[in-house]
Amino acid sequence: MVKIYQQGGLNTTALTVPNLYVQIVQPQTVLNGVASNRLGIVGTAAWGPINTPVVIGGMGDYLGAFGPKKALSTDAGLAVNIGVLQGASDFRVVRVTDGTDTAAKLAMTVGSGIMGATAIYTGTGGNGTTFSSVVNSDGTVTITIANAALGISEVYPSLTVSSTGNYSTTLANAINGNSSLVVISAGATTGNWTGTAKLSGGTDGGTPTTAQFVGTDAAGGRTGMYALRNTGCSIGVLAGLTDTSSWTTQQAFGLGEGIYMVACFASGMSVANAVTGLASAGVTGSYSLKVMHGDWLYWNDDTNGLMLVPPSLFAAGKLAALSPEQSSLNKQLFGVVGSQKSGLTSVGQALTYSDAELSALFGVGIDVIANPSPGGSYWSCRLGHNTSSRASVSGDNYTRLTNYIAETLATGMGVYIGEVINDGLFGDVRATLLGFLKTMLDAGLLGLYGGAIPYTVVCDTSNNS
């Protein structure tokens, strides 16, 4: 007689009956690296959910989820667009507002009552949403709701409204919960309404405060930056936020979450003020924050024309496009048409950074985007480092590769919890870790120096008592 068991489900020392016993041994655990190219963006938008991370793969996704770009340094669409041009393709976008934003609305007289339609999200993206009602030959009603700017069109055909029925209630039952554009307010309406009307009055509100950008980590619902928690982002940027008082909070969040946060100084900051500003910001103790100098960059936006934008958006986008062992140093940036210091490329660059200026910035842990680069006449980050004062951990690559390894182990090694601790378990753990590290070595994420293997795995009674 044959009996089949999963490994661990049979006590072989207690067997007394002769039989064929088969134990299925699970394959050795293999670690698959976590995503290392996901960019988290917190910024403003003309449409979309607030304080909710939305999966975005490119500009098409963004426009449908958050509406058209705005000519604002805080605009999340601008950050996505710049990131895409650098090669990034995986985003989590969180929309924040200052709380004064309003939703577009429409009120229609139907029979003896009023029916209302309200955009499901606040913002100017809801303005211009058309609501059309046509009575068909059989007496049913077809409703079409569309927003050209968002690229969304919805059709609700053959809705039946009796001569004594409630038109708005019928529409509310059919549309609410199904539409990605509007919510219907049912009123005491009779008969059918035909025609086309547009929603209006939606506003984006003003610029969010630092507190609204950073948000809260409350159990009842995370907001702002904290909405990026557990989203698997490896890079994070609060678009257009230049308040240095937020940097220690960003740094702590990045350190705990394994996200490399990229920030920048205010537009037009001098080298001298940047040096003293970083010293007073209190962020030189950790590797989880990258700070860009306040030499903002010119960008020709396809929607809003020539704009001056934060350099943090370019640095974050490039890092998200690079393998984690790479730093941003000397990697060509695309879409830059000038900077505050250098002027517009189209009219000839007037100034470049002197070695003394670069040395002053680099000495305190500030990176800067400039042209020329060590590799030629193109724009790039000139150092590729974080704000840590420790040279051994100050590179972009240290932050990103350390986070990548740590997140991969945290994701994949939990299978060993609860197993019997013995030499066999120690061997399995070592084999799993060594296999993953060897894969990284073969792929070039780790490098040989003098022929020496660049890693060691210890898992025995010396560190497992």
Name the pLDDT band for 165 (thresholds 50, 70, 90).
Answer: low
Residue 443 host element (H or E)? helix 423-443
Which is higher by pLDDT, 144 or 219? 144
Are the beta carbons of 40 and 228 closer than 8 angstroms?
A: yes
Residue 113 pairs in a beta bridge with 110
Helices and strands, counts by H and E, the chain: 10, 22
Name the pLDDT band for 349 (thresholds 50, 70, 90).
Answer: low
On the question of pLDDT at 319 being above 70, the answer is yes
pLDDT at 162 (0 to 100): 64
233 Cβ partners below 8 Å, 6+ apart?
Answer: 38, 39, 40, 92, 257, 259
Buried b / exposed e over 416-441, threshold 16 CB at 10 Å, is eeeeeeeeeebebbeebbeebbeebe
Q: What is the mean pLDDT of the chain?
A: 93
Are the beta carbons of 298 and 276 closer than 8 angstroms?
A: no
Question: Mean pLDDT across the stretch 183-198?
Answer: 85
Q: How far is CA 295 from the centre of its chain?
A: 24
Residue 264 host element (H or E)? strand 260-264
439 Cβ partners below 8 Å, 6+ apart?
Answer: none
Which is higher by pLDDT, 348 or 312? 312
What is the sign, positive or negative, of the torsion defined by CA atoms of 253, 381, 319, 445?
Answer: negative
pLDDT tens-place string over residues 387-439: 999 999 999 999 999 999 999 999 999 999 998 999 999 999 999 999 999 99
pLDDT at 187 (0 to 100): 77
pLDDT tens-place string over residues 365-386: 999 999 999 999 999 999 999 9
Name the pLDDT band for 350 (thresholds 50, 70, 90).
Answer: low
- Give percent of the chain above pLDDT 70: 98
On the question of pLDDT at 318 being above 80, the answer is yes
Name the pLDDT band for 163 (thresholds 50, 70, 90).
Answer: low
pLDDT at 347 (0 to 100): 77
Question: Mean pLDDT across the stretch 318-327?
Answer: 97
Q: pTM of the entire structure?
A: 0.93
Catalogue all structural domains in the chain, each as residue range(s) with its CATH number.
39-72+82-93+210-400 (3.40.50), 105-198 (2.60.40)
Name the pLDDT band for 338 (thresholds 50, 70, 90).
Answer: very high
pLDDT at 362 (0 to 100): 95
On the question of pLDDT at 164 being above 60, the answer is no
Listed range (191-200, 278-287, 335-344) with the worst mean pLDDT: 191-200
Short-list 307, 333, 315, CA closest to 384: 315
72's tokens: 């604002």
pLDDT at 4 (0 to 100): 83
On the question of pLDDT at 307 being above 90, the answer is yes
Q: What is d(CA 105, CA 107) in angstroms, rounded to the nearest whole number?
A: 7
pLDDT tens-place string over residues 71-119: 999 999 999 999 999 999 999 999 999 999 999 999 988 877 888 999 9
